Amino acid sequence: MKGVRVPLAFLLLAASCGPAPAEDRQTALDSLVAEALARNPEIAYYEGAIAAAKGQVVQARIIPYPQIEGFAGPWYSTPTGGRTTTGWMQEYAIYQPVFFPGKMSLAKAIAEKDVRVAELGLQQFRLSLAMQVRTLAYRLGVGTANARIAREVSERAAGLVDFLRKRPAAGVQGYLDLRILEGSLVDLQRMARELEQNRRAIQAQINALRARPAATPVPDTIFPPAEAPSLALPVLQEQAKSRNYALLMRQTEIDRAAKSLDAAKLAALPDFSVGPFWIGEKGTNFDQGPGIVFTSGLPFWNDNRGNILTADAQRRQAEALHGSAVWSIQSAVATAYATYQTVRKQLGEQSHDVIPRLQRAAELADRQYRLGAIPVQTFLEMQRQYLYSAQALYTAALDLQTALLNLENLTAGATPAPR
């Protein structure tokens, strides 16, 4: 897969005054993902589902235990022309219930399909969990940068308010400038507060995924990578069709339903039992002897028709769900791909130093206003452009990597996002 770099260096340059090295950021991100995969309590749920399904595989191999029957009682023997003699009789039989051929193997096959579904569920959850952690880590880095810029702009406006309050009265214009700045400062402080609250909320979400208290510190210098590889939609859709965990689960459910239908048809055929017996009779004479006992139900009246109809309907349901899932996954791939291409193009058209230039312009506007060279409206507009443009570009970079992570999830890792 051919890849290119779009000019996203401004993200790392402008995100903080002293960004951590790329290796440290990658190590921090990998540590967050590894910790979430090791500590997230839902992992145990999916592992339990696998263990439960494997238990049914073991159960499907177990044959019923042997049965024993015994009969005993008095025995009255009356020879021809003789008197009745009282005696006893005993009969004992041991027989082994045996399933009709094919039933046991089908039960085992159905249980193995359940194991496969449970294993796919765990793999899907692990991939989705890693994607969630990476996405939230990028959001935290972007949120921290946005909050820093909002504080920077707010502090700059507050400094001007303090400056105007301290200098000698400058007539109506100075009075109005002060009030304009005070009103704008309220809005800037609100924005800074909301961005900080959003940053803390993201931190709490990351900690929840790794089973940590909400206030546990989380690295906040992890930024979306600058790489934006070239992708092809047909390749992505084919990868998703053959690898997506949800589709593999649906296909396995179809196979399971087909096995269940075969099992329902076989259930109409009776099981049987076979084993040895011994009988002894004591009357005028003592008679005894062994033999073989065979028992079986007769396949009359009950053809299991209702269960067969149910199993066939469930097979059709599984096929319908698979077909629906295919279209849903293909649509999700196309949507994520379109988002990725659009944002990639937008970021590719941006200058690599757009945010530092806006930052320098915002600082220049502050100095020029203090000198009386520009009106207050120009100062405020420059601050807003710096703040809003940085937020827009950071959000675009986040959208780019989120789309890539979604594609990685949809293709079950066949299209790995840059780390």
Instruction: For residue 57, give the nearest of 111, 120, 116, 114 by alpha carbon.
Output: 111
Q: What is the pLDDT of residues 392-419, one digit of tens each?
A: 999 999 999 999 999 999 999 877 766 6
- Strands of the sheet with 272-282, listed across from one edge: 67-77, 85-98, 272-282, 286-296
Q: Is the pTM of this model over 0.95?
A: no
Question: What is residue 32's predicted lDDT score, i.e. its pLDDT?
Answer: 95
- CA separation for the pair 246, 326 (Å, rounded): 9
| pLDDT, mean of each 10-residue run, the chain (419 residues) | 50 50 78 95 95 95 90 79 78 91 93 96 96 95 92 92 81 85 91 92 95 92 85 94 95 96 91 91 81 86 89 96 96 96 88 87 93 91 93 92 94 76
Question: What is residue 13's predicted lDDT score, i.e. its pLDDT?
Answer: 47
373, burial (CB in 10 Å: exposed 0-12, middle 13-18, buried 19+): exposed
Question: What is residue 40's predicted lDDT score, i.e. its pLDDT?
Answer: 95
End-to-end CA separation in angstroms for the chain: 15
Q: How many CB atoms lie within 10 A of CB 163?
A: 14
Instruction: For residue 231, give the nearest of 219, 239, 220, 223 by alpha carbon.
Output: 239
Q: What is the pLDDT of residues 49-66, one digit of tens each?
A: 999 999 999 999 998 899
Average pLDDT, the chain: 88
327 by DSSP, 3-state: which?
Answer: helix
Q: Which two tokens mark 312?
A: 């066939």
Q: Which two tokens mark 192?
A: 């800074």
Q: Across the chain, how many H-helices and E-strands are there?
A: 10, 6
Q: What is the DSSP string of 27-45?
A: HHHHHHHHHHHHH-HHHHH
